[in-house]
Structure 1
Amino acid sequence: MYFIGIDLGTSAVKIILIEEKGNVIGSTSKEYPVYYPQPGWSEQNPEDWWNATKDGIRELIIKTGVKNGDIKGIGLSGQMHGLVLLDENNNVLMPAILWNDQRTQEECDYITQTLGKERLTKYTGNKALTGFTAPKILWVKKHRTDIYKKIHRILLPKDYIRFKLTGEYATDVSDASGTLLFDVENRKWSKEMLDALEIPYNWMPKCYESTEVTGYVTKEAADLTGLKEGTIVVGGGGDQASGAVGTGTVKSGIVSVALGTSGVVFASQDKYVVDEENRLHSFCHANGKWHVMGVMLSAAACLKWWIDNIINFNGSSITYEKLLEEAEKVTPGSGGLIFLPYLMGERTPHSDPYARGSFIGLNMTHKREHMTRAILEGVAFGLRDSLEIIKELNIPVNEVRVSGGGAKSVLWRQVLADIFGVRVDMVNATEGPAFGAAIMSAVGYGIFKDVEEACSTLIKVTDSVYPIGENVSKYNEIYQIYRGLYKALKDRFGEIASIN
């Protein structure tokens, strides 16, 4: 028996095929563009997602030679918070507004002023942030009234793929948690939020637990993908909850760090926990429990920006490996150079769409390698901001499991271990959210009784990096400087953002 995991990322969809013992039989990835029509805006065409997904599934089935009848289930994972709008004929009404889009600060202010911080926390466990789905809906209502009048259904990105596969309007509790329209504690849509924002309840998809069956592959989708009609599709999860399942972060004491385009520090909880200051998100987990997480909007994306836009801007072809090899020779602290990783604004802990990336401390002795290492360190310091809040909530941190593209770098893992002051592990499952999605489909089919059993059976630690004492001490000193820089520059960031 085989299971498919689909992870609809920001830059590409990744699709994997596993057998019931967790071995990955094959994988494929299909890219699609992101559009930035105005500064701070970020959009994609949902049809690009579907075209990439259906082609990727067909290619994977052909490449592996697996009979479609032996594929027993499909799990979905994907970028969270995005807004997909459908009309009564199920046509997409406008480009999807993505998780990292920053256009909705006025709508966030309106939501906060209308409901108040205490009611928001009571109803949703979170505060209004520009990345979330609810303020995007209000933005469309205010700025695209022609579109708003035609809305028949609202879906999240991965759930558009579900709709194309099954014809069902459905989502799961972990992804729904990031809409600001969900009662996270009670795991259902918040009638209070929908009523307060005048969003019709019937626009929202039916919500399921992550391992529940949400629908079955239709004949039309089967013809397009090569799947067998009737194959189950389970709820799945938002990319962070799915990624946590994919690394086995389903028990208290284990913290996962996703070092991808964005950066996430994620801690599983058996009970519902809320940070009273709302610096962390409190969401439903894909294992039937809850989790808290802090999110950086730019993590590995900072290194990609450095290489693509600066280093290789004029046609050079210097590789990541070369730059990281140079950076490894630089001592911790990058010669007094600090990088603030706010290239797309920031979410945790500052929640500031106007925050901007910065190199601070530059002098004539600094070279390319110092700047590269400073980026690695700056991202790790930003992730530590979330880790410190998790510790404040008395959530145990015994082990950190790191995943994502940035985790491939041994140097970056060592920097994380030194800045966090804790062991950083890699696990045998390297496919991240796609693997977590596949696990959930196996649970939904009945191979395992629950997510915890599946993870304990399939996922093992394969490599560990331990903190180096002298580096830990030095980074602790630098971190105190780092965390003061945002406060010193906050007002200037707002002024800079107003410059056209």
Structure 2
Amino acid sequence: MTSGPLKVTVGVDFGTLSGRAVVVSVEDGAQLADAVYAYPHAVVDQALPGGGPALPPDWALQIPEDWRGVLRHAVPEALARAGVTADQVIGIGTDFTACTVLPTTADGTPLCELPEYTDRPHAYPKLWRHHAAQPHADRINALAAERGESWLPRYGGRISSEWEYAKALQLLDEDPGLYAATERWIEAADWIVWQLTGTESRNLCTAGYKGIHQDGTRPSSGYLAALDPGFADFTAKLDHPLSPLGGRAGTLTARAAAWTGINEGTPVSVGHVDAHVTSAAARALDPGHLLAIMGTSTCHILNSDVLAEVPGMCGVVRDGVVPGLWGYEAGQSGVGDIFAWAARTVLPGPYAVEARERDLSAHELLTEKAERQPVGGHGLVALDWHSGNRSTLVDHHLSGLLLGLTLDTRPEEVYRALLEATAFGTRVIVEAFESAGVPVTEFTVAGGLARNRFLMQLYSDVLRRPINLIGSEQGPALGSAIHAAVAAKAHPDIPAASAAMGRIERAVFTPDPTRADAYDALFAEYRELHDHFGRGGSCAMHRLRTLRDTAREATHDTARHPAPADAAEEGRA
């Protein structure tokens, strides 16, 4: 780097409910300012913005205009707060939730923005937590296993319903006319870069982990045709040269410059996934260093110089996180979401009054009370599958479970059991890596849940490992700013930029041997339930979901097609 006036990059993190922009010093990664823009439509999971019938269960959509709002509002606001000029901004980078994917025309126009398609649910972007494609993922997996497709082991033997192919197959199956109108099927991570640069690009990360791109190829047309003859052409909707991470996707257009307040022609880095880009922010790029990004869900990222088949992993991709290493991804579909469910579900009136009088959130009060309990004192064990299981079972039609309830069970005990369940789920993932010969030598946490000190200590005890923390509250956005610095050639490569601009605090939490021993006993109970309900001992969770969906569909049909007032009379005639 050359010395001189302060130079900055902007990192923009597109999350589930909002987008955040940060302004970062290229020299040392100091965060100068940030700004947040909440999506006006948040997650569309009940009905489309224009109304109409209720969406089916497990749907989760978003609105592209909400994402543009982040560029128009959060970016200029962050620049103003930082007190920097457009001339000081040498690059901009973005990251996105994934797999969040949308159908567009050849020029990138989302189909949901065309008047003829605004009332078609499949025209909208499907958020990462859209899980309605599970039956289609099951078809993909069964046929791939039957045919011995070479790419399947790279995904732990199962493609997730969250990924690109399952969601696209659902589109074809349920709205074939809209599938035919879809000229491009694109990750939001790449679409937002298209909006900034005016040029389509595709990043290696989402293609590898979410788009079944391995060793330079995707699933064959023969395999796709065997799934459905109409699906044989699907890869053409994805096909585009892949750009390496840290590369330059293009430069800012005049339109995007007007949105953001950044100069036209400013370099824009290749798109990225929020979790994966955080590895650079946390200085977690070395082999064996596992990063857990803990928020509404948790994503686990691990780089290694070892290629192995790890059952139930989301994927392993060469250069998928940093050039030169194999990047592994695993995850838990529900973590913070589960804690939020508990806080709004189990808090009785007196607790709510106490929280209000002491000016505490429900989470703070329940955490305080849970922390006073001895390990195992609640007599409970839970399964953390409220949003299904991403790793290692890869089944989003599994559901949550709480065992050991009595009439004496208190809200804080339920809350603690759910915290523990997510830690146990993480331990299953770590053990799966190590059993497959992929060492885990360090464990670092990023994301909003890192602020919960009791939770972090609990994880340290359950995992029997020290817990590092990222040294920034804006991990994904900082990671995007780091990648922007590489694209702008302020640093030679991602590791160098990470070393200069990243942040990590090592061994902030260390395991307590006595508590760790007690957690081993609880984990054994968790593992028994995990294998019983997740590996075929009981299919009760799937049957219950089928009963629920059948009942809801019957209710929707009745609402849409009510019986005529004189139906009873007609029946007697």
TM bracket (short chain): over 0.9
1:285-324 matched pairs, under 5 angstroms: 285-288=320-323, 289-311=325-347, 319=361, 320-324=363-367
AA paired with 2:131?
A: Q
Gaps of 5+ in 1: none
Gaps of 5+ in 2: 1-6, 46-54, 112-122, 225-230, 549-573
Paired residues of 1:86 and 1:152 also in contact (CA < 8 A): yes
* Rg (Cα) greater in structure: 2
- Match for 2:484 among 441, 446, 453? 441
1:95-110 matched pairs, under 5 angstroms: 95-110=124-139
Deviations 1:386-431 (A, max 9, x none): 1111111222222211111111111011000000000001132331
Displacement after TM superposition at 1:17 (Å): 0.9
Counterparts of 1:375 and 1:137 in 2: how far apart (Å)?
33
- State the match for 2:218 in structure 1: 190
Counterparts of 1:447 and 1:264 in 2: how far apart (Å)?
29
Pair 1:158 & 2:189 matched:
yes
Pair 1:11 & 2:17 matched:
yes
Counterparts of 2:94 and 2:148 in 1: how far apart (Å)?
32
- State the match for 2:433 in structure 1: 390
Displacement after TM superposition at 1:324 (Å): 1.3
Q: Identity over aligned residues, as a percent?
A: 21
Counterparts of 2:146 and 2:496 in 1: how far apart (Å)?
38
- State the match for 1:467 in structure 2: 511
- Match for 2:108 among 90, 94, 116? 90
461 and 247 in structure 1: CA distance in 2 versus 1, 3 angstrom threshold: closer
297 and 10 in structure 1: CA distance in 2 versus 1, 3 angstrom threshold: same
Instruction: Return the structure number with greater strand share.
Output: 1
Paired residues of 2:134 and 2:395 also in contact (CA < 8 A): no
Pair 1:249 & 2:284 matched:
yes
Quick check: 302-311 or 158-167, which moved more? Answer: 302-311
SS at the partner of 1:7? strand
- Match for 1:232 among 267, 282, 285? 267
Displacement after TM superposition at 1:469 (Å): 0.2
Displacement after TM superposition at 1:120 (Å): 3.8
AA paired with 2:474?
A: E
1:472-491 matched pairs, under 5 angstroms: 472-489=516-533, 490-491=538-539
Deviations 1:94-151 (A, max 9, x none): 2111222121123223323433367444378223210111111111111112211211
Q: TM-score scaled to structure 2, two decimals?
A: 0.82
Pair 1:431 & 2:436 matched:
no
- Match for 1:130 among 122, 138, 161? 161
Displacement after TM superposition at 1:53 (Å): 3.0
Counterparts of 2:270 and 2:57 in 1: how far apart (Å)?
34
- State the match for 1:61 in structure 2: 79
Counterparts of 2:519 and 2:461 in 1: how far apart (Å)?
7
Quick check: 279-288 or 43-52, which moved more? Answer: 279-288
CA RMSD across the alignment: 2.2
| Number of residue pairs matched by the alignment | 496
Quick check: 396-405 or 88-97, which moved more? Answer: 88-97
Q: TM-score scaled to structure 1, two decimals?
A: 0.93
AA paired with 2:15?
A: G
270 and 4 in structure 1: CA distance in 2 versus 1, 3 angstrom threshold: farther
Paired residues of 2:301 and 2:327 also in contact (CA < 8 A): yes
Counterparts of 1:144 and 1:64 in 2: how far apart (Å)?
47
Counterparts of 2:31 and 2:134 in 1: how far apart (Å)?
42
Deviations 1:55-92 (A, max 9, x none): 11121122222111211111121111122111245321
Counterparts of 1:233 and 1:195 in 2: how far apart (Å)?
36
1:168-207 matched pairs, under 5 angstroms: 168-183=199-214, 186=215, 188-190=216-218, 192=220, 196=224, 197-198=231-232, 199-201=234-236, 203-207=238-242
Deviations 1:162-191 (A, max 9, x none): 1111112112111222323311xx3x4526
SS at the partner of 2:258? helix
351 and 412 in structure 1: CA distance in 2 versus 1, 3 angstrom threshold: same
Paired residues of 2:320 and 2:327 also in contact (CA < 8 A): yes
